[in-house]
Amino acid sequence: MSDAGNLTAGTYNKLTLTQPASGATLTLADGSTLALAGAYSTTLTATATTNATLPAGTHSLAPLDSPTFTGDVTLSTGNIMGGPTLGLLANLYYAGGWKYVGNGYGSQWVANNSTGGVQLNVAPLNSSGAGAAASPVTAFSVTGAGGVSIPLLATSGGTVKGTLCQDTTGVIYVKTTSGACIP
């Protein structure tokens, strides 16, 4: 079982110890417990010295390559960072095409580094359940050059599609032709 107080590889009370190739340390603080529940193995791999502090309570860890959170996520400090395009989605996800998470409307807020702009996209009311195809359209956008576009601008007579522009005198107008606003 042991040699001068050291455990050797073997099975003790149904716990199997495997001898490491060059040495290893498992330290448990006095009064602490390391408990694993379930019939699955748990492998923790550190590529360098690592200290991780987990808060009190019961928590589920989200995979970093595709995290999914439920409830509110609060950042006390810091930024949400993405690649060239970053989006925040409500009731939408992309899996070979846009789809609804469930019944209701869908919306997207998208920051696009290639255009320097941001846009708000909306998808119509869905009553076909989760996985139904969605067709989001741009409801509002701001270009990197400062232009504002409201393609679904509602009016009392229906909908006006175009770009909201401002001329050199400060007058704001809706441009209904293609191309950029000309001051």
pLDDT in tens, the chain (183 residues): 555 567 778 888 888 888 888 888 888 888 888 887 777 777 878 788 888 787 788 877 777 776 776 666 776 676 776 667 777 888 998 889 999 999 999 999 988 767 778 888 999 999 999 999 999 988 888 877 777 777 766 555 556 667 777 777 777 777 777 777 765
Cα dihedral 55/56/57/58 (nearest 10): 40
β-sheet bridge partners, residue 88: 109
pTM: 0.50
Per residue in 155-183, pLDDT (tens digit) is 555 566 677 777 777 777 777 777 777 65
Mean pLDDT, the chain, rounded, equals 79
Contact by Cβ (8 Å): 121, 92: no
Query: Residues, the chain, total?
Result: 183
Contact by Cβ (8 Å): 133, 154: no
What Cα–Cα distance (Å) separates residue 48 from each residue in 23, 45, 51?
16, 9, 10
Tell me what percent of the residues of the chain surpass a pLDDT of 70.
Answer: 80
